[in-house]
Structure 1
Amino acid sequence: MSLFSKIVIGVIIYLVFLLVYLPANWLVSIAPLSNNVAISGAEGTLWQGQASLVTIDQRQIEQVSWQLSPWGLLVGKADIDFKIGNRATPVSGKGSISWSFSGLRANNIRFDLPDSFLLAGARLPFKTQIDGDVSLMVEILEQGKPWCEQLSGKLFLNNTNVKNQYGVYPLGNISLGLSCLDGQLKIATDETQNVLGLTGSAILGESNLVKVSAKIKPTDAQPKDLREALSFLGRQDSQGYYPINYQGVVPGL
């Protein structure tokens, strides 16, 4: 073997080792992060590492770890398994994400987080305050236009309490099904998945246009303030339901 061949092989081996052991803290230091994003305590490598804290605006996510498969990159995909926090942290989650030129795909995603994390100090209309927790479970998500090609999952609103200048509304637990309808994101519930007597769906389409088609009827489990306010929705139908219909852009979306 010639000296030139040995040098070439040595350079290739060096580059492979350099790529394999790319330090996560160095990558974070050169990453073009937005001004509202900060990552601290990064350890490990590009392929397997962790960060002690990720801050996005006023939101903080602790103990973020990841594994990136190098084999997927050979066929133009980035396959990432991630884990966030644990039972002792406010926010926890895990799952698998795959990104390619055809878009994003996610499998077996789960997030558990408090409402305060989602709202992050936002000022809601009518001096509204919301307490509770959210659990998101996604079996499969495939990106499409405008939002999705495929989606199957559940969204749980746990121990939800709403308070505003009009009253107090302990809404309890609400289960919502997540699906994809002609590329649009669909969220649906019925009376078996909540104690509010609520049945219907909301569809998020292009340009953040939301269409709500639902109905609600008085039940003994409803908060008193909510039950007394139902008449403002309109007239009851023959089955005792009040209509809830809306079409437009949700402010802030």
Structure 2
Amino acid sequence: MKLTKRALLLGTLGLASYLLFLAITFPASQAYTLFGDRLPVQAYGLSGSIWSGQAAVATIEGQRLEAVQWKLRPSHLLTGRLASDVQARLPNGSVSGYVNVSGNSLRARDLRLDMPVDQLLNMADVTLPARIGGRFDISMRSLRIENERLTEADGMLTWHQATLNLGRPLQMGSLNLRLEPGEDGMINGTLISQGGPIDLSGDLRIRPDGDFDLEMTVRALEGAEDAIGPAMGLLGIPADGTPVRSRLSGNLDGTNIQLTEL
């Protein structure tokens, strides 16, 4: 009897190990053939397995990704979450990091994103009352989005060659925004500028509902009038370096954007 129970146990463990091996090594291309029509992604040129594989091209809600690589973490499936290390090339940039998804919740760690600002806003379906240019270089230790709202952010966002056009182009150099968690679900940020014709600094507060306030101080540096004189005049920035304080408020979805003088 003892031998029978031992044999049954070993047989069960062996079968479980074999099934696990099949799951881990199951080809990604075959899995996509079976279940691809149920996924919100179209993938082409698949290789590797469903747990660790690559796609030459993938499209998600019309956005094209190339050289997509993933490595799933099976243990998270026990808690009903899909977790993976991912990296991919964008049409004019790249993205990489650890992503954890469940329902309407998305969490990310060690996230790196580099792409043109206008393309990122287009992907996020955000419309602003001004044309902007430059590139975003985002490096986040942690990020959380719940029900399409930003609820946690800890990291650095750099806007290289930042340009704001309200009829006249205002070139601002590089803008660095340090984000970190605050109290009561708030996200706090500190803004500084580097290398531009104006000195810009500010404090940002983002509430859980997505509403934000950015209190800024801007002043012209030496030579600014020659570089961006028309834009300075339009925005009321004195050429003599007198500081101007203002507040930018609205919602992260791009609605109710207002700029008021303090």
- Alignment TM-score > 0.5, same fold: yes
Give yes or no for contact 1:99–1:105 (8 Å, CA) kept in 2: yes
Give, in whole Å, the separation in 2 of the partners of 1:78 and 1:250.
26
Deviation of 1:25 after TM superposition, in Å, equals 2.9
Gaps of 5+ in 2: 256-262
Partner of 1:84: 88
Give yes or no for contact 1:196–1:221 (8 Å, CA) kept in 2: no
| Aligned-CA RMSD value | 3.8
Give, in whole Å, the separation in 2 of the partners of 1:118 and 1:143.
16
Give, in whole Å, the separation in 1 of the partners of 2:128 and 2:141.
34
Gaps of 5+ in 1: none
Deviation of 1:211 after TM superposition, in Å, equals 1.7
The answer to whether structure 1 residue 39 and structure 2 residue 43 are counterparts is yes
Give, as a single letter, the amino acid of the residue that structure 1 aligns with 2:246. Answer: I
Give, in whole Å, the separation in 1 of the partners of 2:84 and 2:202.
35
Deviation of 1:220 after TM superposition, in Å, equals 3.4
**2:209 alignment partner, SS class:** helix
Matching residue within 125, 132, 135 for 1:133: 135
Normalising by structure 2, we get a TM-score of 0.71
Partner of 1:196: 198
Matching residue within 147, 152, 162 for 1:160: 162
* Alpha-carbon spacing, 1:250–1:111, altered in 2? closer, same or farther (3 Å): closer
Give yes or no for contact 2:168–2:234 (8 Å, CA) kept in 1: no
Give, in whole Å, the separation in 1 of the partners of 2:141 and 2:116.
21
Give yes or no for contact 1:176–1:193 (8 Å, CA) kept in 2: no
Give, in whole Å, the separation in 2 of the partners of 1:250 and 1:142.
14
Deviation of 1:61 after TM superposition, in Å, equals 1.7
1:1-253 correspondence runs (5 A)? 5=8, 11-29=15-33, 30-31=35-36, 32-34=38-40, 37-73=41-77, 79-85=83-89, 90-98=92-100, 105-120=107-122, 128-141=130-143, 147-148=150-151, 151-164=153-166, 166-182=167-183, 183-191=185-193, 195-220=197-222, 222=224, 223-231=228-236, 240-250=242-252, 252=254
**1:206 alignment partner, SS class:** coil
Give, in whole Å, the separation in 1 of the partners of 2:126 and 2:212.
21
**1:42 alignment partner, SS class:** strand
* Alpha-carbon spacing, 1:144–1:221, altered in 2? closer, same or farther (3 Å): farther
Normalising by structure 1, we get a TM-score of 0.73
Deviation of 1:114 after TM superposition, in Å, equals 1.7
Give yes or no for contact 1:49–1:66 (8 Å, CA) kept in 2: yes
Give, in whole Å, the separation in 2 of the partners of 1:245 and 1:9.
64
Give yes or no for contact 2:179–2:189 (8 Å, CA) kept in 1: yes
Deviation of 1:191 after TM superposition, in Å, equals 4.8
**1:207 alignment partner, SS class:** coil
Give yes or no for contact 2:174–2:194 (8 Å, CA) kept in 1: no
* Alpha-carbon spacing, 1:55–1:78, altered in 2? closer, same or farther (3 Å): closer
Give yes or no for contact 1:215–1:242 (8 Å, CA) kept in 2: yes
Once the two structures are superposed, residues 160-214 of structure 1 have per-residue CA deviations (whole angstroms, 9 ceiling, x without a partner) of 33445x2122222211111122222333213558653211123221322122222
Give yes or no for contact 1:58–1:120 (8 Å, CA) kept in 2: no
> How many residue pairs were aligned?
239
Give yes or no for contact 1:211–1:248 (8 Å, CA) kept in 2: yes
